[in-house]
Structure 1
């Protein structure tokens, strides 16, 4: 025993810090992730400073850029190239290894991050199904829904409740562990099987619930909305448009239930003119002319948005205007 640094030397020359587990602690890994996300946030902020106009123009595809940056960072640094350590893990003296306590290959590390990163970068992204059939559009929506909800739940659930190995979904798929540096690997028990059953049941549930819900939901026909979106897009300041119709119900003791019907246009701008009320009024007029059913609604909502979101950083300005047809 070396009393000075409190380590035990094994026959193979490796040192083990006494009283410390091979698998890292819960908060160690959380703090390491915070450091990594802060670093990526700085990269995103710097990129946005120089490329803001481009990020605004490409809209939802900006998340693909953020994903590429993140997978390069985590994929490369969690591999053998950087000894399985990102900046956060290095600060907390952690690293990603296989069951033999060795860093993993680059390909394995890239695949591991895909399991973690794809649900995150898909969350909040909206894709148009206009160019594919309704059936395949519905199938695509279900797949994205399952990846986001199932992925998020599984990753969080396993990390919180799988206390034996602290392996989350991406660790289990690729057989990796996040461990303390300088600790010799130890025999650990397998993941408790009921955890895997819970994850499997949840994935099935997130696929079934939308199917059941769709059978009971009634949507108002969206005749003319596509034409309205295309007309609004002709404005030189408009980058992207989403138009929807709906209704809200409010209740009070005196008046009972009050139903308010509306048509809402979310309009993403190329320039930051969200406080331009004249522009909002002009776009409301365009909406009413291109979608005559607007005049049958109680209110028309125009939300002007100037924003970009690349996943690792976002900038968002918006303002809502309400007009009575």
Structure 2
């Protein structure tokens, strides 16, 4: 009988054969099996992770819509955190006024700095749900400082949205520069996110050399080519055109009127109890009818005893510093009290609307009552 071939048998099969074989009758086969088992024991064990990675598809760049969806999920989570904090610290947040936005900045940078760095595995909550990950050029996860810088660039525009920044009428160049910065960030981020198909990096990604990829067990496949330079040229051209339009508008015929409004705004912002203010000339079209009014908006202390009298005082300040106010059909005052921390806000709004003559009469009646 020919001797069986044990070279193709697995370790488990060999041990089963060894348990059944008659060692007295076939000692040479027992020796062959034991020798084969010894050689298998000395052979290096196969690495299972490499086999899985070899069969898995390459990890590629994340798509635009998946990134946007992850961002929306993170934004909703931050909103809920801000709302919860506001329920507990409403009075403290209200007292901060315009500085309250720094609370949201701190929470946001801490959230993204931890979750999108190596501390949190490079995945915020939204990214984890949608299978995304932030990595560096080397394929490793970002450090905490880099993740904070990336988040700060992306979130800057959202935090400054709605924040009143008074640079004064004599600082038009600085005001225009800030406007260009915000516009440039918004446009470049979303333009690159959509049209930079080569690396799929937006402005905040390029600043720290980050990539957003699909999370998975496969081999990381980052783009070998740099971003196309034509994107930078196009973005610069759009910003230059926007700057030209902004400068033309500032030098237009309405500059004198805007200057008078700026003077009134300066007086409003200097009023005790006002945390922030804005003033606009508004034109409304309803069907074939057109109506104009002057809109005064102010963020005030929630503890004001008489908001009506306070609103009348603001209108009187505007009437004294802006002659065009008395020619408006209506003057509308909107008083807001509450807080804005960037990621969440809560306001109580009180509106008053009268003609200039009615506002003057209210002021006269108040003065009469005080004299009596």
1:121 maps to 2:164: no
In our comparison, the structure showing a higher alpha carbon Rg is 2
CA distance in 2, matches of 1:16, 1:140: 56
Match of 1:51 among 89, 98, 103: 89
SS in 2 for 1:15: helix
Q: 1:164 to 1:245 in 2, by over 3 A?
A: closer
Query: Alpha-carbon deviation of 1:249?
Result: 7.2
1:78 maps to 2:116: yes
SS in 1 for 2:201: coil
CA distance in 2, matches of 1:202, 1:264: 32
SS in 2 for 1:320: strand
Q: 1:266 to 1:15 in 2, by over 3 A?
A: same
CA distance in 2, matches of 1:31, 1:226: 40
Corresponding residue for 1:267?
298
Corresponding residue for 1:167?
201
Q: Structure 2 matches for 1:251-262, cutoff 5 A?
A: 260=292, 262=293
CA distance in 2, matches of 1:143, 1:289: 30
Deviations 1:133-181 (A, max 9, x none): 71xx223312221222111111111111222322111112221101122
| Preserved CA contact (<8 Å) 1:41 1:312 | yes
| Preserved CA contact (<8 Å) 1:158 1:169 | yes
| Preserved CA contact (<8 Å) 1:288 1:295 | no
Query: Alpha-carbon deviation of 1:113?
Result: 1.8
CA distance in 1, matches of 2:269, 2:61: 55
SS in 2 for 1:308: strand
Deviations 1:22-81 (A, max 9, x none): 212333322322222122112101111111122222222222211111111112221222
Corresponding residue for 2:136?
98
Corresponding residue for 1:4?
none
Query: Alpha-carbon deviation of 1:228?
Result: 4.7
Q: 1:111 to 1:10 in 2, by over 3 A?
A: farther
Corresponding residue for 1:225?
264
CA distance in 1, matches of 2:73, 2:198: 25
Runs of 4+ with >6 A deviation: 9-14
Corresponding residue for 2:319?
291
Q: 1:17 to 1:44 in 2, by over 3 A?
A: farther
TM-score normalised by length of structure 1: 0.79
| Preserved CA contact (<8 Å) 1:59 1:308 | yes
Root-mean-square deviation (CA), in Å? Answer: 3.2
1:204 maps to 2:240: yes
Corresponding residue for 2:221?
186
CA distance in 2, matches of 1:94, 1:287: 53
CA distance in 2, matches of 1:183, 1:36: 26
| Preserved CA contact (<8 Å) 1:60 1:309 | yes
TM-score normalised by length of structure 2: 0.70
CA distance in 1, matches of 2:56, 2:229: 30
| Preserved CA contact (<8 Å) 2:57 2:218 | no
Q: Could you tell which deviates more after superposition, 23-32 or 151-160?
A: 23-32
Deviations 1:187-211 (A, max 9, x none): 5233233222222222323333211
| Preserved CA contact (<8 Å) 1:57 1:239 | no
Q: 1:290 to 1:22 in 2, by over 3 A?
A: closer
Q: 1:162 to 1:144 in 2, by over 3 A?
A: same
SS in 1 for 2:260: coil
Kindly indicate which of the two structures has a greater share of residues assigned to helix. 2
Corresponding residue for 1:311?
342
